[in-house]
Amino acid sequence: MNHFQYRNGILHAEDVAIARIAAEVGTPFYCYSTATLERHYTVFRDALAAAGLDATVCFACKANPNVAVIRTLADLGAGADVVSEGELRQALAAGVPPARIVFSGVGKTRRELEFAVAKGILQINVESEPELELLSEVASARGVRMPVSIRVNPDVDAGTHAKITTGKKENKFGIEWTRAREVYALARRLPGVEVVGVACHIGSQLTELEPFRDAFLRVRDLVAMLRADGIDIRRLDLGGGLGVPYEHETPPSPAAYAETIRATLGDLGCRVIVEPGRLLVGNAGILVAEVIRVKEGTTRTFLIVDAAMNDLMRPALYDAHHAIFPVIEPAADAPRAEVDVVGPVCETGDTFAKQRPLPPVKAGELLAFGTAGAYGAAMSSTYNTRPLVPEVLVRGGEFAVVRARPGFEEMRALESLPGWFDRES
């Protein structure tokens, strides 16, 4: 469920007309719904509680690192799962307590580890022996022992897109399942780390529960072995990955997901950490664009819009599907014609949809791209020297720009000419 609905023939975000935002902010822009964010978080949190789990929900900030989005979730009690110093700083700026922040990621630098240790976050999910040894060195220099979970790669096929699966042995993430015990033994000997748990994350946009169940059972077996080795495992970081409907998918409900955790791991007496990202923010956001022109080609019709692949990368990167619909509600019996919806970037890959049946749309009219709240603005760039698009947050009948569109002079101010150009002129 989301809070983007037609009212009197105009698409609204909660109580705000999308056309009004477009008139004041300009297109393209991202629009997020506070009510949808709140609903998705509370449904997920309550499902875990109903299953009797001692669970902490840490929002995966990589899905949408906007500080206002993070703050909205933090005010409901969410923690944060971060994968860079920048995301950690965003979470702290949004008011997430350090005791609810987990630092994941395969390539943490010394500087990032020093910053995380200094802030006293809940735990660091370690993904390799060199990282473990570096973290121990960093923490020891500060006279502390840093709580860690070691991320284990269970070699489970998540059945999702190859570019977003993370739990197979050929993926770069985590410690290979068969080597986990020896790495835990190393961690136990290091002076600057305190082993508190096991971490596992097998991928994103999962639409079946079976891969989760397979991975959780392997985690269960590992916990038994580690406890037999005398290691006190008291936290289980299970990652995220539960999918959302982009097209015809029917992902499991949060209640079914929570029951899978309870059935496989609920009797271990561990605190459970889960890290949903897309599930919380995907359907809470849309991208709004204006049609620049309709171009009639030899074999097809193109709707050229002012959003592009640099603004919403997922279709070009993953062949991802996003619903596309006019901001002005079409008549129920309006004819549909197959069109290619494309952007202005000089790449054939700058295509949002091919041969998509849409009602008649003219130049100057607005289109919305659905389920764009996750990995939309987060993955955007300035390719073709296009400014990053604004992000807007709606709450009830009001809205605010929570990331402004930079001007060209602001973009150019980040660049400079070397002195030799002046010397040679």
Strand 351-358 and strand 271-274: pairing? unpaired
How far is it between the farthest Cα atoms of the chain?
75
Residue length, the chain?
A: 425
Provide the 10 A C-beta neighbour count for residue 291: 19
- Report d(CA 255, CA 268) in Å as an integer: 20
Run of H or E residues at 55: strand 55-60
Q: Which residues of 233-258 are buried (b: 16+ CB within 10 A; e: fewer)?
A: bebbbbbbbbbbebeeeebbebeebb
Dihedral sign for Cα atoms in the order 85, 87, 89, 92: negative
Run of H or E residues at 257: helix 254-265
DSSP symbols for 307-329:
--TTT--HHHHH-----EEESBP
Instruction: Decide if 200 is catalytic.
Output: no
DSSP code of 349? T
Given the residues 31, 58, 200, 346, the one annotated as active site: 346
Q: Are 328 and 273 in contact (CB under 8 A)?
A: no
Dihedral sign for Cα atoms in the order 308, 313, 315, 321: negative
Look-up of token digits 């042995």: 169
Cα 128–Cα 132–Cα 138 angle in degrees, nearest 5: 140
* Residues taking part in catalysis: 346
